[in-house]
């Protein structure tokens, strides 16, 4: 039975990869720092958890043990992280490093974490220019993509059989910041309307963790040194994302499609509001034999069900999503109520 080691295997992407490989008959070991993050379902399916800090060389080596047919790193953020991974990657049948589409820049040097959104001429291919590598704080808007580039280069230049995957906005069960919560919460609160800035036309390509997992399984069978985009087979707009979630929850709301002049402040804000759109070209993955697990509307259902069930019984989890203020501006009901009241309408369903 082939063995896979998934570093950061208790998280959103790592958990989906572990599930997929277990179903395909792999023996799967996952690591993380906090045993409390090990999903019960993953343990029940046969994954083994080892507590190991990704930045501690000895713990990393101990988790690797005598070797792995597939090594997947979901916690590689810097060149230093990549250098620690190298001896393991060189001793693996195939290795996968999860990078990000945040590495890409447009012809003005803008990237997905810039103040000004990038303007790509069309679907972004893997040959699109990237940020310059850097070792400034990776946990910053300028540092995240630049450090990922530095990490990618260490691995790709080494000659090891490393596939770099570049996902976009990831959705699935188990994320620490589940963006779709902004629509699920509204349904649970029985809000009468959903507000969408710029008519909800913005697109920032979603990547189902289940689709990333399908691509990992594909590349495991064809080890190589390459970069691949990893996003859903479709690229829905913010309006289509809201609609898919409402349909799955069998809820009807009025869509308030705000034009450009009304799309200021928090009203209608959503995480997919990129105009022009950010879409990843998936040709290279397809040519390797990758078959996605499903489109956005299909793959998002598991996450939506998980969010609903958390809302009905896991207050600590919900509090953790709300704790850093990310959702405050996305769930600004007061601003929406004012908008409706000014037009003589009630916020009650």
Site residues for ligand NAP per CB under 6 A? 8-14, 31-34, 37, 53-55, 74-75, 77, 98, 100, 167, 169-170, 175-176
Closest approach, Cβ 55 to ligand NAP, in A, equals 5
Q: 8 vs 133, which CB is nearer to ligand NAP?
A: 8
Q: How is residue 338 written in tokens?
A: 């004012």
Look at the block and give the residue holding tokens 């713990």. 59
Q: 135 vs 259, which CB is nearer to ligand NAP?
A: 135
Closest approach, Cβ 309 to ligand NAP, in A, equals 18
Closest approach, Cβ 324 to ligand NAP, in A, equals 13
Closest approach, Cβ 224 to ligand NAP, in A, equals 20
Q: 166 vs 186, which CB is nearer to ligand NAP?
A: 166
Closest approach, Cβ 200 to ligand NAP, in A, equals 20
Closest approach, Cβ 168 to ligand NAP, in A, equals 6
Q: 169 vs 185, which CB is nearer to ligand NAP?
A: 169
Closest CA relative to residue 279, chosen from 201, 208, 204, 179: 204
Q: 206 vs 223, which CB is nearer to ligand NAP?
A: 206
Q: List for the chain the helix, strand, coil content (%; round to 5).
A: 40, 15, 45
Q: 251 vs 327, which CB is nearer to ligand NAP?
A: 327
Is the dihedral angle over the CA atoms 126, 158, 8, 96 positive or is it negative?
A: positive
Contact predicate 6/68, CB 8 Å: no
Q: Which residues pair with 71 in a beta bridge?
A: 5, 95
Query: What number of CA atoms fall less than 13 Å from residue 278's CA on the CB side?
Result: 28
Whole-number Å distance between alpha carbons of 29 and 130:
33
Q: 253 vs 321, which CB is nearer to ligand NAP?
A: 321
319-to-15, 173, 176, 253, 326 alpha-carbon distances in Å = 22, 17, 11, 26, 12
Closest approach, Cβ 101 to ligand NAP, in A, equals 7
Closest approach, Cβ 186 to ligand NAP, in A, equals 21
What residues contact residue 237 under an 8 Å CB cut-off, 6+ apart?
200, 201, 202, 203, 272, 277
Q: 92 vs 263, which CB is nearer to ligand NAP?
A: 92
Closest approach, Cβ 25 to ligand NAP, in A, equals 23
Closest CA relative to residue 268, chosen from 345, 333, 187, 342: 333
Whole-number Å distance between alpha carbons of 67 and 84:
15
Whole-number Å distance between alpha carbons of 144 and 131:
10
Which residue of the chain is nearest ligand NAP when measured via CB? Answer: 11
Closest approach, Cβ 176 to ligand NAP, in A, equals 5
Burial 165-178 (b: 16+ CB within 10 A, else e): bbbbbbbbbbbeeb
Q: 12 vs 85, which CB is nearer to ligand NAP?
A: 12
Query: What number of CA atoms fall less than 13 Å from residue 74's CA on the CB side?
Result: 25
Backbone angles phi and psi of 31, in degrees to 5: -125, 165
Closest CA relative to residue 264, chosen from 177, 339, 185: 339
- Strand positions, DSSP E, 110-161: none
Q: 133 vs 256, which CB is nearer to ligand NAP?
A: 133
């Amino acid at each position: 039975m082939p063995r896979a080691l998934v570093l950061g295997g208790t998280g959103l992407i790592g958990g989906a990869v572990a599930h997929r490989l277990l179903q395909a008959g792999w023996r799967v070991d996952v690591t993380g720092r906090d045993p409390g993050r090990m999903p019960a379902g993953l343990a029940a399916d046969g994954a083994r958890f080892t507590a190991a800090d990704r930045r501690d060389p000895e713990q990393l080596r101990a988790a690797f043990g005598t070797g792995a047919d597939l090594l997947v790193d979901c916690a590689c953020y810097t060149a230093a992280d990549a250098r620690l991974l190298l001896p393991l990657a060189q001793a693996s049948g195939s290795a996968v490093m999860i990078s990000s589409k945040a590495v890409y820049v447009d012809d003005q040097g803008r990237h997905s974490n810039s103040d000004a959104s990038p303007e790509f001429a069309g679907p972004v291919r893997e040959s699109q220019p990237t940020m310059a590598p850097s070792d400034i704080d990776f946990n910053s808007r300028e540092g995240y993509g630049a450090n990922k580039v530095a990490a990618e280069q260490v691995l790709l230049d080494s000659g090891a059989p490393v596939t770099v995957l570049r996902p976009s906005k990831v959705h699935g069960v188990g994320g620490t910041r589940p963006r779709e919560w902004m629509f699920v919460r509204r349904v649970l609160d029985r809000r009468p309307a959903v507000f969408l800035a710029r008519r909800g036309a913005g697109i920032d390509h979603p990547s189902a963790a289940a689709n990333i997992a399908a691509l990992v399984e594909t590349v495991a069978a064809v080890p190589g040194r390459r970069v691949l985009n990893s996003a859903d087979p479709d690229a829905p707009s913010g309006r289509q994302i809201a609609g898919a979630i409402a349909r799955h929850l069998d809820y009807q709301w009025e869509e308030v499609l705000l034009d450009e002049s009304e799309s200021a402040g928090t009203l209608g804000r959503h995480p997919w509001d990129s105009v022009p759109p950010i879409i990843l070209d998936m040709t290279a993955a397809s040519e390797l034999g990758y078959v996605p697990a499903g489109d956005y509307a299909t793959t998002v259902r598991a996450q939506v069900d998980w969010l609903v069930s958390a809302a009905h019984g896991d207050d600590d989890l919900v509090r953790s999503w709300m704790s850093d203020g990310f959702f405050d501006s996305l769930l600004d009901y007061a601003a929406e109520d004012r908008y409706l009241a000014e037009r003589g309408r009630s916020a009650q369903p």
